[in-house]
Each structure stands twice: as structure tokens, then as C-alpha cells.
């Protein structure tokens, strides 16, 4: 009977030499630092993206409220009317003449108004 002998290569366990283990350890340390740096960069990028997303969400919310209510806050000239006898202060819009505030004067307010009236 004839034998057909040949040589082949297989992946089999081999004990590593100390210098091979050292090289693997050095590569592991380098790769571990790289991973930590990339994770930090990812975290920073995510924080930036989250901030950008939140800004856009806020803009959308503000626009949505304006559309929903048909209103927005703006600076409007107002006239303050003080009635010392009635102990009232009114805030009146100059553009519509609407009374937007009508409140009772405090004792401190009355004192200031009386002092102001004395100087006039």
C-alpha cells in the first residue's frame, strides 16, 4: 500500500515567549488609551449635538406657541397712571389703550409718590 504523505498548516495553540507577551501588553496599553480618547471625543461630540438639538427644539417650540396662540411677547410702550386717592396704579398700552395691569399701591409706593409730588 502506497502512502501519500504531505505537509499542511493548522491553527493550533502555541505557548508565547516572554517578549511576545510583552509586545502584546504594550499594544494592549496603547489601544486601551486610544479607546478611552475616542470615547471622550464621542462624549464631547454627543454633548455638542445634544446642545444643537436642544437649540433647534427650543426654536421650534417658540414658533409653535406663536402659531398656536397667534401672539408673541414684544416690548410695547406703556403709560403708568397713578391715582393716589384711589391707591391704584394702572399700566396702559399706548398702542391699544388697554389696561394690562391694575394694582393697589403699597404703603412704600404711596410714600414715594407723595415725596415725588412735593418736589414738583
Return the pLDDT at 48: 93
Report d(CA 115, CA 109) in Å as an integer. Answer: 10
pLDDT at 87: 87
Provide φ and ψ at 86, rounded to 5°: -90, -5
Of all residues in the chain, what percent carry a pLDDT higher than 90? 74
pLDDT the model gives residue 112: 77
- Hey, which bits of 4-105 come out as E strands? 78-83, 88-93, 99-104
pLDDT per position as a tens digit, 41-80: 999 999 999 999 999 999 999 999 999 999 999 999 999 9
Average pLDDT over residues 8-17: 94
Q: Virtual CA dihedral for 83, 85, 88, 94, nearest 10 degrees?
A: -10
Amino acid at each position: 500500500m502506497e502512502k501519500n504523505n504531505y505537509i499542511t498548516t493548522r491553527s493550533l495553540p502555541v505557548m508565547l515567549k516572554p517578549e511576545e507577551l510583552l509586545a502584546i501588553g504594550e499594544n494592549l496599553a496603547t489601544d486601551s488609551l486610544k479607546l478611552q480618547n475616542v470615547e471622550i471625543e464621542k462624549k464631547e461630540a454627543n454633548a455638542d449635538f445634544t446642545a444643537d438639538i436642544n437649540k433647534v427644539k427650543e426654536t421650534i417650540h417658540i414658533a409653535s406657541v406663536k402659531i398656536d396662540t397667534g401672539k408673541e411677547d414684544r416690548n410695547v410702550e406703556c403709560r403708568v397712571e397713578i391715582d393716589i386717592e384711589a391707591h391704584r396704579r394702572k399700566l396702559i398700552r399706548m398702542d391699544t389703550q388697554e389696561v394690562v395691569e391694575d394694582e393697589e399701591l403699597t404703603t412704600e409706593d404711596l410714600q414715594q409718590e407723595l415725596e415725588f409730588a412735593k418736589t414738583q
